[in-house]
Amino acid sequence: MIHSVKFTCVLDTNVIYPIEIRDLLFWFAHFELYTPKWSTHIFDEWKDLMTRKGVRRRLLTELKK
Q: Helix axis angle, 55-64 relative to 40-53, nearest 10°? A: 70
Domain residue ranges in the chain: 8-64
pLDDT, tens digit (0-9, with 9 covering 90-100), for 38-60:
999 998 898 888 888 887 766 65
**Distance separating alpha carbons of residues 1 and 56, to the nearest angstrom:** 27
Q: Label residues 36-50 b or e (16+ Cβ within 10 Å = b).
A: bebeeebeebbeeeb
**Distance separating alpha carbons of residues 56 and 39, to the nearest angstrom:** 21
Q: Say if CB 2 and CB 30 are below 8 A apart.
A: yes
Higher-confidence residue of 3 and 34: namely 34
* pLDDT for residue 37 is more than 80: yes
